[in-house]
Amino acid sequence: MAESRRPLPRPTPETQHFWDGTRERELRLQRCDACSQVYFPPRPFCPACASRKVSVFAASGRGTLYSYVINHRAPPGSGFEPPYSIAVVELDEGPRMMTNIVGVPQTPEALQLDMPVEAVYEDFTDQITLPFFRPLEAS
Amino acid sequence: MRPGSVAIVGAAETTELGRIPDQSQLQLHADAALNTLADAGLTPADVDGVATAGESPTGVAHYLGITPTWVDGTAVGGCSFMLHVRHAAAAINEGFCKTVLITHGESGRSRIGRGGFSRPAASLQGQFEAPFGTMGAPSTFTIPVLRYMKKYGVTEEQLAMVAVVQREWAARNPRASYRDPIDVDDVLSSDMIAYPFRKLMCCLVTDGGGALILTSAERARDFPQRPVYVIGTGESVETPMVSQMEDFTTSRAFRVSGRAAFEEAGIAHGDVDHLMIYDAFAHLPLYGLEDLGFVGRGEAADFVEERNTAEGGKLPLNTNGGGLSYMHSGMYGMYALQESVRQLRGTAPAQVKDARISIAHGVGGMFAASGTIVLSNEAR
């Protein structure tokens, strides 16, 4: 298990499938059965057309780096060691999600926008596994 | 709202700004309110509408001894006060109340009598943002900017210019926290906070407050101060999660709010003499200039660099020094409104000559919400 001082999510009934998925090394998104919209974060209806008929599916776990900052300020005991990236990845399926880019120096030179990335998973508790992303080339 | 049907007849800030360790947050609301009541020649007994954010309208009304017939506790972050102005105008027109007091007070620096921010672990932000180390505004509000900079070829030097020009305005304001001139090198050599943001691209953290009093245009003529008429208003929200903005290079809430305010006022961009854009960070004036339509997409950085927003430029912007140099308590929107009122009364320290129309445009949360108020010192 990794350190767990960082704030960890508490799943709700609407998001449990996502966190069950990361524990099993899967990035689970939702798709609307009516209009085919793929969306994130989880909810039991489509944000595009309001249909309640939606399905969970395993996404590819691949995407590109959309934007980020490199945070240089984190108090001791926060669970974060600066500098570290706080990034938003655009998934190949469309939605964007926040994450950390790992396995690469936390520098502007190493973190190029639009570079391909893939999900990696880190267990923090028996219940919670966070999805991080690393450059695709590093796999 | 009927353009020009409601006016601001009282406006003042707290007696002190900056570091106020001997007053609670609630007292900062009261200090601003009392100064504003004096400005308008009123007492709390004359007020029948109360709007506030940060504290509850119940708490503020009780503390000041006001018995309102209308309250508004809309709290969508730093632009809440723009929304209060809009809602108050509607309420006055509807006859719910006659005299509205809008208060802001925030012990942002000293943190006296102030609750903390908490993001429940089961909220969407708690589940899908906080675990990745977002630590308040400096490391969150800033996340979209690299995408904006890449799309439009904006440089760190240009981002720094926003702070440089605003410091020039602050230098003319005796109440500004930072008044010493800075240049681009100073900004780019200041401490790294969250790449690409340096310390001087980030807002201050200070204590203070401000308040406004609104009434109908008919009654406004009987007040001691020159009335400042509300001629256009807008509001919107997009998402509480910055990671879920639909486009990192433009704010939907800015666009919707700004468009509504312009349409209601029936003005063109060339009619605007003075502009305030809530600047929690240096990229916000760039987004604001574009999303309000003052410049085209990707043109704001050049517009600032070419000194159009500086003294003598065609669009004086953030003339109090802004959140970057004047003050920033946490919910800065009130100070943007205060400066617009000062400019239209003709009492601003860095007065724009013959200013007749001013816009105060606010942001709430991290591009989460927006409010836009168009003001004029001419009756309609």
Residues of B forming the active site: 278, 326
| Contact yes or no for A96 and B243 at CB 8 A | yes
Size of interface A-B (CB pairs under 8 A): 115
Q: Do the domain assignments include residue A62?
A: yes
Task: Mention every residue, 6+ apart, whose C-beta is less than 8 A from residue B368.
Answer: B76, B77, B237, B238, B239, B240, B242, B253
Note whether B248 contacts A: Cβ–Cβ < 8 A: yes
Looking at residue B113, its pLDDT comes to 87
Interface ipTM > 0.95: no
Question: B116 touching A, CB under 8 A?
Answer: no
In a domain, A1, yes or no: no
B243 interfaces chain A, CB cutoff of 8 Å = yes
Chain-centre distance of CA B249, in angstroms? 21
Q: Is A10 a member of any domain?
A: no
Average pLDDT, chain B: 96
Confidence of residue B120 (pLDDT cuts 50, 70, 90): confident
pLDDT (0 to 100) of residue A2? 60
Structure tokens at B27: 């007292």
Per-residue pLDDT band for B224 (boundaries 50, 70, 90) equals: very high
The residues pairing with B11 across neighbouring beta strands, listed in sequence order, are: B212
CATH number, domain with residue A74: 2.40.50.840
φ, ψ of residue B343 in degrees (nearest 5): -60, -40
**A11 domain-assigned:** no
How far is the C-alpha of A14 from the C-alpha of A48, rounded, in Å? 17
C-alpha angle with apex A110: A106 to A111, nearest 5 degrees?
80
Q: SS3 for B214?
A: strand
Output B217-225 pairs: Cβ under 8 A, ≥24 positions apart.
Answer: B217/B4, B217/B5, B217/B6, B217/B7, B217/B379, B217/B380, B219/B9, B219/B98, B220/B7, B220/B9, B223/B9, B223/B10, B223/B40, B223/B41, B224/B39, B224/B40, B224/B41, B225/B9, B225/B10, B225/B11, B225/B39, B225/B40, B225/B345
Q: Is A132 within the bounds of a domain?
A: yes
Number of domains in chain A: 1
Whether A92 is covered by a domain: the verdict is: yes
- DSSP strands (E only) in B249-332: 274-277
Which of the residues B119, B146, B367 would you substitute to probe the A interface, choosing the one with the greatest number of A C-beta atoms within 10 Å? B146
Query: In this structure, which amino acid lies at residue B194?
Result: A
Question: In chain A, whose CA is at the least distance from the CA of B135?
Answer: A74
Looking at residue B378, what DSSP letter applies? S
3-state secondary structure at position B362: strand
Residue B268 in this model has a pLDDT that exceeds 90: yes
Sign of the Cα torsion B278, B63, B100, B83 reads positive
Confidence band of B286 (pLDDT split at 50, 70, 90)? very high
- Per the CB < 8 Å rule, is B133 touching A96? no
Residue bearing the bigger pLDDT, B253 or B118: B253
Residue whose pair of structure tokens reads 């410091």 in the numeric block? B167
Q: How confident is the model at residue B274 (pLDDT cuts 50, 70, 90)?
A: very high
Cis amide bond preceding B3, omega within 30: no
For chain B, percent of residues with pLDDT exceeding 90: 96
Cα atoms found within 13 Å of the Cα of residue B134, Cβ hemisphere only? 25
Question: Which of B289, B240, B303, B234 shows the shortest CA–CA distance to B82?
Answer: B234
Mapping DSSP onto H, E and C, the string for chain A reads CCCCCCCCCCCCCCCHHHHHHHHCCCCEEEEECCCCCEECCCCCCCCCCCCCCEEEEECCCEEEEEEEEEECCCCCCCCCCCCEEEEEEEECCCCEEEECECCCCCCCCCCCCCCEEEEEEEECCCCCEEEEEEEHHHC
Residue with the two structure tokens 């006001």: B66
Which residue is listed with tokens 């050049």?
Answer: B302
| pLDDT exceeds 80 at position B116 | no
pLDDT in tens, B298-354: 999 999 999 999 999 999 999 999 999 999 999 999 999 999 999 999 999 999 999
The pLDDT, as a whole number, for residue B117 is: 65
- Core vs surface per residue A70-87: b (16+ CB within 10 A) or e: bbbbbeeeebbebbbbbb
Per-residue pLDDT, averaged over B257-277, amounts to 98
Question: What residue numbers bound the domain in which A40 lies?
Answer: 16-138
Q: Domains in chain B and their CATH numbers?
A: 6-113+204-376 (3.40.47.10)
What's the pLDDT tens digit per position in B30-46? 999 999 999 999 999 99
**Cross-chain residue pair A7–B126, CB shorter than 8 Å:** yes
**pLDDT tens sequence for chain A (139 residues):** 665 689 999 999 999 999 999 999 999 999 999 999 999 999 999 999 999 999 999 999 999 999 999 999 998 888 999 999 999 999 999 999 999 999 999 999 999 999 999 999 999 999 999 999 999 975 4
Token digits for B91?
């309420």
In the block, which residue shows the tokens 């900052």?
A: A69
Give me A112's structure tokens: 């190029």
> What does each C-alpha distance from B306 to A116, B151, B179, B291, B313 come to in angstroms?
37, 20, 22, 19, 9
B312: CB partners within 8 A, 6+ apart:
none
Pick left, alpha or beta for residue B93 (phi over 0 → left; psi -120 to 50 → alpha; otherwise beta). Answer: alpha
Residue A5 lies in a domain: no
In a domain, A57, yes or no: yes
Cβ contacts of B147 on chain A, cutoff 8 Å = 66-67, 113
d(CA A128, CA A8): 7
Q: What is the mean pLDDT of residues B50-59?
A: 96
Cα separation, B315 vs B303, in Å, equals 10
Question: DSSP assignment, residue B290?
Answer: H
